[in-house]
Amino acid sequence: MPKTLSRRTVLRGLGTTVALPLLHVMQPQRLLASPGSLGSAASASAPPLRMGFFYVPNGMHMPDWTPKKIGSSYQITETLSRLEAHRDSFNVLTGLALDSAHAHGDGGGDHARSVAAFLTGAHPRKTNGADIKNGVSVDQVTAKAVGDATRFASLELGLEASSQAGNCDSGYSCAYASNMSWRGPTNPVAKENDPREVFDRLFAGRTKDGTRKAKTEREKHRKSILDFVQEDAKRLHAHLPALDRRKLDEYLYSIRDVEKRIIGAEKLGTNEEGVPDYPRPLGVPRELSKHSELMMDMVALAYQTDSTRVLSFMFANAGSNRTYKEIDVNEGHHELSHHGKSRHKQAEIAKINRFHLDRFEYLLSRLKQIPEGEGTLLDHCMIVYGSGISDGDRHNHNDLPILLAGGGGGRIQTGRHIRYPKNTPLCNLYLWMMQQMGVDASQFGDSTGKLNLDA
């Protein structure tokens, strides 16, 4: 076994490949980047930098979101308190705006526009027909530039299915309302919302004819995907240093744990008459919290295995009127967002906001638990969380609720609330992020320059 191991090393089995996490033997110590070093952080031996975008619909209850003070001594608000354990791992960015989501003469449709413009910075053509037109999203521009380094140039995920046609918001196509990733002006990228399908994409290999032989064999014999690669895993394990053996064991355990929870989520419990459980058709858990946690596990595994470095995630489609009975919110989210200053409705919206942030907190915890380089996986991420609408009742697209989580490979000083001048383009943040990922760009969307994260 050589002293170093290629990052592209995988475990192989019957029609199956399992990517490995970043191990110690994949990064010679003499070449490791020092924490916070911008120059060396971009070297070939340093952990790769990841980019992510997480969208929540219908705006936010802003009084419970925005801190009053700026800097590192800000008092965390009620909604943001869900992330208290990670206070030193994110920044709250206030003052950013999404001008392209405004009507500009097109009338209603703020929800659809807010999603369509969120990653593109473009004003979508108002149509519910086939003549849709938008911009190219920041994730896809980045994926085109860096995607060759990973198995998947990008991943598009969510908790609700995408639509590519129909009228979803005041004359705007459902393609705008349910997709925030756009490969081209007329090409929205549909998201995957089934955790089993994502798992299979990450780990189930294909045969030469394109069929998923490993998946078929696993289902036939009810085996874990790890059963097919165990011999390869044992051989590798025997030659790794102790630190990497522990890291590999933890990683393989996490895969098997996710597998078990996916299988459990696909089954219904026995009812009072003793009818046995049976597989659920879609493999999507009934409980939204379980569904979201499994999808967050998929995000963590995708980043951990360097299967992709660019990812987008929608908690719900634009204007979603989903109820949240798990937290005793029985009215639709969209209806509540038109609160008319009702204290009851605003309190219910705040509960939904906290529910979403709880799911995001789960992801940050997962990423923080995965050691990488001289830090954690979260240290090597740049993850945007927020909405293209500020207050759902006003439908305004300025002073947006935006978080930037992760250390960016030493590029980001975290733990702060930063307030920018009114109507600073959100695309200024995206331009900065693109440049950190190695994209040669001087402008994106309606950007006026790259955002100053040292403010």
Instruction: Give residue-wise pLDDT tens across range 190-241.
Output: 999 999 889 888 876 544 444 555 555 555 445 666 776 777 778 887 778 8
Which DSSP symbol is given to 85? G
Does 68 score more than 70 pLDDT? Answer: yes
Query: What is the pLDDT, as a whole number, of residue 202?
Result: 85
Q: Are 315 and 353 in contact (CB under 8 A)?
A: no
Question: How far is 58 from 318, CA to CA, in rounded Å?
Answer: 7
pLDDT at 216: 56
Higher pLDDT, 312 or 280: 312
Report pLDDT for 40. Answer: 34
What value, to the nearest 5°, has the Cα angle with vertex 399 and ends 172 and 102?
25
Q: Give the whole-angstrom CA distance, residue 87 versus residue 85.
A: 6
Please state the rounded mean pLDDT for residues 424-445: 97
Domains annotated on the chain, with CATH: 49-193+284-436 (3.40.720.10)
- Please tell me which residue, 106 or 276, carries the higher pLDDT value: 106
State the Cα–Cα distance between residues 265 and 293, nearest whole angstrom: 11
- Which residues have CB under 8 Å from 19's CB, separation 6+? 10, 151, 202, 203, 305, 306, 307
SS3 175: helix
**Beta strands 50-55; 16-19: pairing state:** unpaired
User: Could you give the percent of the chain with pLDDT greater than 70?
Assistant: 83
Contact 70, 442 (CB under 8 A): no
Q: Is the pLDDT of residue 279 over 80?
A: no
Task: Out of 13-17, 26-30, 209-213, 225-229, give the one with best mean pLDDT.
Answer: 225-229
In angstroms, rounded to a whole number, what is the distance separating the alpha carbons of residues 260 and 236? 24
Residue 32: pLDDT band with limits 50, 70, 90: very low
- Give the pLDDT mean for 415-439: 98
* CB half-sphere exposure, 326, CA atoms < 13 A: 13
Look up the pTM and report it: 0.83
Contact 88, 73 (CB under 8 A): no
* Confidence check: pLDDT of 15 > 90: no
Supply the pLDDT for residue 192: 95
> What pLDDT, in 10s, does the model give residues 346-401?
999 999 999 999 999 999 999 999 999 889 999 999 999 999 999 999 999 999 99
